[in-house]
Structure 1
Amino acid sequence: MESLVVPVLILLAVVAGVIIAYRAARGRKAADGGAQSGPARPAQELARTAGEKLSEGEHRRLYAMIAQGQAMAAIRLYQEVTGEGLRASRDAVGALAAHPQPYRHQEPVEAAEEDDEPQRFPYRYRAIASKGDVTREVSSNMLNDEIYGRIRSLARSGDTEAAVNALTRHSDISPVQAREFIALLDD
């Protein structure tokens, strides 16, 4: 039990530090007379919307960084994942630390697009994945950089089934071949 006291105290100190930094930043914004472009949002709402922008793996990594006192790394991760600016990322991470959010599974946004036939391009796109001595290639005229990027993002975030479904939908390979290909991407 004594071995847990120090880590718990460190965690509490980090959370308190993030809360104080967030409140100080919020106070500076109020002192500026609301010079920001939009209306100020309550911290709980900011935390909720910030949490919704994260995949399950990103959510887990961000909160692990917060718990370990790596506030700057958490801000950089949030900034990289969402593409938001430094200040917005700092505020979002501060709100997430002050108002922890559970991960909420998000429904795929492109569900309506699933019913449509994939677009065929006038060229064949080649996607190659390898790990060690194993190399797999997918060549299709229904793939492009954007679609392949989404498939890679799904694979790296741990949503293997969605990545397999997207790959089989945009190529002429079987689900078994798609799983073999996706297994090479998920690192």
Structure 2
Amino acid sequence: MDSLLIPVLILVLVAAGVLLVVRAWSRRGERSRPAAPPQPDTDSAELARVSAARLNQEQHRRIYALIAQGQAMAAIKVYLEATGEGLRASRDAVAAMAAHPQPYRAPEAASPAVPDEDDVPQRFPYRYRAIASKGDVTREVSSNMLNDEIYGRIRTLAKSGDTEAAATALTRHSDISMKQAREFIALLDD
């Protein structure tokens, strides 16, 4: 029995040494690999704002026209040619711009703007469509003075019961009459 004890101890020590070497080698390999760069959120409003700011007015208009026509590949190509960014960055930028439409801002106005008052509607280079329906009745408002934020405020006013203020805000940001606005708001108040 004593004659087997020494070879077994040597075998255990060798196995432990091999395990330590393998563990150290794998840790060293993990440290030498570069960390993956963080991927931008392709649907972020910030990416859309930054991407739109890189375009001149004609490029901005062309890209949003192509997005509106459902020609995403052509919009990506125009963005790629306009900015010189890579294909993946151009794809992400166009996807963000489609998800979060941005008005064209001249280079002087590219700095953070003071939020517009509701009294002075801003015109956007794209048409916004708001649709409300109840049962068989459907109403649509299409305007280049509406966006998600303004329409959200109008819906909040309607849902809180202030239908007159909601109708007034809707007429201020579109080209519809007060009667049409009231009919539209009546479909939202549920």
TM-score, normalised via structure 1 length:
0.39
User: Structure 2 length as normaliser, TM-score?
Assistant: 0.38
Question: Quick check: which has more Rg, 1 or 2?
Answer: 2
Tell which has more relative contact order, 1 or 2 (C-alpha 8 A, sep 6+): 1
